[in-house]
Structure 1
Amino acid sequence: MTESIWSKTEQLPPFPPLQGALSVDAAVIGGGMAGVLIAHFLKAAGLNVVVLEAGRLGSGQTKNTTAKITAQHGLIYHRLVEQFGEEKSRQYAEANQRAIAEYRRLIEEGKIDCDFTEAPAYLYSTGGSEQLEKEYEAAKAAGIGAELLFGTELPFPVSAALRFDDQAHFHPLKFLRALAGGLNICEQTTVRSVEGNEIVADRGTVTAQFIIFACHYPFVNAPGYYFMRMHQERSYVLALENAAKLEGMYYGVDADGLSFRPQGDLLLLGGGNHRTGENSAGGQYQKLREAAMRYWPESREVAHWSAQDCMTLDGVPYIGQFSLPTPNWFVATGFEKWGMTSSMVAALTLRDLITKEECPWAEVFSPLRFTPSASAKTLMQETAQATKGLVRKFLVPPRADIEALPNGHGGVVEYDGEKVGVYKDENGEAFIVSVRCPHLGCQLEWNPDEKSWDCPCHGSRFDYRGNLIDNPAQQDLEHA
């Protein structure tokens, strides 16, 4: 079982599950960074709020983040100008710069000990400078003080690098612990359905005027149809000691680019990005280990883990009203690889929308937006991917039978005339599960790096025993 350095170094206190009926002004579904921040700001605005978390607080994507707080989100600003125009690009920049400032304010005012460290953030490329030159011009136009460079502190040459100052990183679970102290939180409370203003969980119900879906990936398929508007991707991280002492955070914009960020005496090395459900060959951690040995042969790995990110059609999060027919439902999802900053943007935006205050950037994040030029091609790709996942169970034959599967490996095999998923541990014990995703029926694929069954359509994940890890699925796999 992989575990991040955040989980290794901070244990959050338990909160009781929901029991019986509860009535509140606002109910937040999801107890990660986004959910807790949203609840914090709504409570500060005078609302009675409850947070409903299916597992433990911060146990989803928050504990697996690289915990960067930055307005630098890959090659975003040039793309925003092309897709939406300069005004919305400036609004996006304003929202994310405000998010950094709000983290700083909360931490300073609350005297929160969470390793908050200001540091520059860099984009870099080893394959040419053209993309970064365009991003530099777009970032300047958006009001960001960026600087284009042609050398860095990295242990290899770069073609160009784009520096953003006044960015930061922190320990997300230490921050979450401090912020959660004054909130009404129900852990081990899995929401099963939402109808109108009523939420039904395993052992209770909540009636709320406002309902906020902050559970990474919305599990309600209709209305909203977020499963048609997003896919999920995975990436991998090593924590290294005795590696470089970098000043800044670095994100490679090339196809095989690596990311780096310091954390105390450690260096976090990230990469290996792929669409969830498309890692049957494995080897992502090994690639990172080879890079670590190449650049810092004396380094030692102290932890490794992975993250999962929701990717939207146009590269901008969905933050705002859930759908047209549900004016009192709200959503925060599609944060791409920038979950910590986007969580704060979501909290500020939804507070303003719910309390009817002016929000200068709400339109750019609105889930009700429709941008054919930005989304049409991606929507077609998502539809094709889902179709491929659905027909795989009919057209792709099993790859082996159980006896032929080596110990320590998993795969789709034939068992009693049906295709099933099997993992055989090192002792030869077989764990047999259905390979049909309970979300919308796509065939799951084995991920050997994490010993998990992953859905290539919408990103649900299950451990080798069939237990649910990541939504939008809401139930475990059936056992064959």
Structure 2
Amino acid sequence: MQPLSVWHKTAELPSFPKAEGDLQTDVLIIGGGIAGLLTAYRLHKSGIRCMLVEKKRICSGTTGNTTAKISVQHGIVYSKIMKEYGLSAAKIYLNANQAALDSFFKICEELQIDCDLERRDSFLYSRTYPKDLISEYRALERIGCPCDFSEKTELPFPVRGVIRIPNQAQFHPLKFLSAICRDLPIYENTFVREMIGTTAVTDRAKIRAEKVIVCTHFPFLNKHGAFFLKLYQHRSYVIALEGAKTVSGMYLDEEKTGLSFRSYQNLLLLGGGGHRTGKSGGNWEVLRKFAKRHYPETHEIAHWAAQDCMSLDSIPYVGYYSKQTPDLYAATGFNKWGMTGAMVASALLCDLILKKRNVSKYLYDPSRQILHPQLFLNGLEAAADLLVPLPHRCPHLGCALRWNADERSWDCACHGSRFSENGTILDNPANGNLKIR
């Protein structure tokens, strides 16, 4: 059974033509995942002439492989933001994500979208001493987020503590995006191989724009922004189980290597096995061993993997690509929370284009000063990786590639590019295929 998410199995996305000839637009959006599509939807609705290009099919990347939780609860995050940037910053982050959650319901109501959107409580649990969890709970209380703390869950193992935030949501992401994108100016199978100012050059088209928004998961322009130092990528895995006892809430372990639970119809979606791309770690077998132990009578009907961009301070990078590029924008680093993160990004980017005030602007600014140990570690690891004597080098910045036997791919630990066995690019920031000698 090949990896394929339940979302791709149960939804049909519209198809769009390939861009050809000389084209013009006010705003060009590069990248057809949820961030790009929501941004195009908002701009189009605001009367801005825009265009979106996607190098493959829309939603063919992380968006189609999400667990599709819509929540303001993003792991241990509010206590970190409060410590790093203060109480007001944590409140801004909460309010932005609450507005994002509300926007999903508003759009679904306006467009009468049937995408299995339903209210669910969100739970963050700890199986060990819950010191960080208690700090997170206190931070949530301070910023006025409705929540409670207990040791009660529906999970098949005991926990030492759990934070519940009520009235969050889950949905079918591709049914939702299929509905909002049908009338948008979209071009698929349109690979931007070069940017000349704000003009995108593809194999068959030249697209001139006043402004460009890069929503390509990992920003692909290395000349500006230094995203190759400010981001790293993380892989995680999901299996869909039929016959397992489902859960009424959405659950996540506070540990990055822990497990995630949610239901979709009669299926239990079990996630986890995460590790940094290019590094050794868990995979689907970790989930299958857990399922065999706790859900022995179940049947696996689908499995898939996702790759997420992680920022240095748990806050996405949304806004101007760099201080030197006033007409170039980016949205990335959603830290595994791309549903609310993308909605926040679309609202902020639209406000920047329309020159409207947005209180989240400075918190999400990609050029904000971040003094984080991971920043220096990313640089050191990349430099060290250049010296590793391995046969294949990533075409992005020359780091050594390691063979991933579980997924049969060549993976870059520096910045997360991945290539198939024959060298076809699977995940960026590399902007081309790998030459297999």
Same fold, TM-score > 0.5, yes or no: yes
Counting only pairs closer than 5 Å after superposition, residues 109-188 of structure 1 correspond to structure 2 as 109-188=110-189
Say yes or no: does 1:65 pair with 2:66: yes
Say yes or no: does 1:457 pair with 2:414: yes
Distance between the aligned counterparts of 1:29 and 1:124, measured in 2? 37
Distance between the aligned counterparts of 2:230 and 2:301, measured in 1? 37
Aligned residue in 1 for 2:78? 77
Q: What is the Cα deviation at residue 388 of structure 1?
A: 2.5
Distance between the aligned counterparts of 1:250 and 1:18, measured in 2? 42
Distance between the aligned counterparts of 1:389 and 1:112, measured in 2? 47
Say yes or no: does 1:446 pair with 2:403: yes
Kept in 2, the 8 Å contact 1:463–1:469? The answer is yes
Find 2:374's aligned residue among 362, 370, 378: 378
Using the TM superposition, name which of 464-473 and 191-200 deviates more.
191-200
Q: What is the Cα deviation at residue 437 of structure 1?
A: 0.7
Distance between the aligned counterparts of 2:10 and 2:426, measured in 1? 22
Letter in 1 for 2:273: G
Consecutive unaligned residues in structure 1, runs of 5 or more: 397-418, 420-434
Letter in 2 for 1:268: L
The alpha-carbon distance between structure 1 residues 448 and 138, as it changes in their structure 2 partners (threshold 3 A), is same
Distance between the aligned counterparts of 2:238 and 2:65, measured in 1? 9
Letter in 1 for 2:150: L
Aligned residue in 1 for 2:424? 467
Counting only pairs closer than 5 Å after superposition, residues 38-437 of structure 1 correspond to structure 2 as 38-254=39-255, 256-279=257-280, 284-372=283-371, 375=372, 377-393=373-389, 419=391, 435-437=392-394
Kept in 1, the 8 Å contact 2:244–2:297? The answer is yes
Kept in 2, the 8 Å contact 1:93–1:143? The answer is no
Distance between the aligned counterparts of 1:146 and 1:384, measured in 2? 40
CA distances 1:245-293 after superposition (whole Å, capped 9, x unpaired) = 21100000135411101111001101111110113xx662111101111
Distance between the aligned counterparts of 1:217 and 1:336, measured in 2? 12
Letter in 1 for 2:432: Q
Kept in 2, the 8 Å contact 1:127–1:254? The answer is no
> What SS class does the counterpart of residue 193 from structure 2 fall into?
strand
Distance between the aligned counterparts of 2:401 and 2:77, measured in 1? 32
Task: Point out 4+ residue stretches in structure 1 off by more than 3 angstroms.
Answer: none
Q: What is the Cα deviation at residue 189 of structure 1?
A: 0.3
Q: What is the Cα deviation at residue 45 of structure 1?
A: 1.3
Distance between the aligned counterparts of 1:248 and 1:55, measured in 2? 34
Point out the structure with max Rg over C-alpha: 1
Kept in 2, the 8 Å contact 1:90–1:141? The answer is no
Letter in 1 for 2:118: T
Distance between the aligned counterparts of 1:151 and 1:277, measured in 2? 36
CA distances 1:4-32 after superposition (whole Å, capped 9, x unpaired) = 11111112121001001111110000001
CA distances 1:86-112 after superposition (whole Å, capped 9, x unpaired) = 111100000000000000100111110
The alpha-carbon distance between structure 1 residues 83 and 283, as it changes in their structure 2 partners (threshold 3 A), is closer
CA distances 1:101-145 after superposition (whole Å, capped 9, x unpaired) = 000100111110111111011000010222211101111222211
Distance between the aligned counterparts of 2:141 and 2:328, measured in 1? 36
Distance between the aligned counterparts of 2:321 and 2:315, measured in 1? 15
CA distances 1:58-96 after superposition (whole Å, capped 9, x unpaired) = 101111111111110000000000001011110000000
Q: What is the Cα deviation at residue 340 of structure 1?
A: 1.1
Alignment RMSD (CA, Å): 1.1
CA distances 1:176-216 after superposition (whole Å, capped 9, x unpaired) = 11010110000000011222221111111111111000010
> What SS class does the counterpart of residue 164 from structure 1 fall into?
strand
Letter in 2 for 1:358: R
> What SS class does the counterpart of residue 26 from structure 2 fall into?
strand
Distance between the aligned counterparts of 1:175 and 1:31, measured in 2? 14
Report the identity percentage.
45
Say yes or no: does 1:21 pair with 2:17: no
> What SS class does the counterpart of residue 323 from structure 1 fall into?
coil
Kept in 2, the 8 Å contact 1:283–1:449? The answer is no
> What SS class does the counterpart of residue 337 from structure 1 fall into?
coil
Aligned residue in 2 for 1:409? none
CA distances 1:375-427 after superposition (whole Å, capped 9, x unpaired) = 2x11111112212321113xx6xxxxxxxxxxxxxxxxxxxxxx3xxxxxxxx
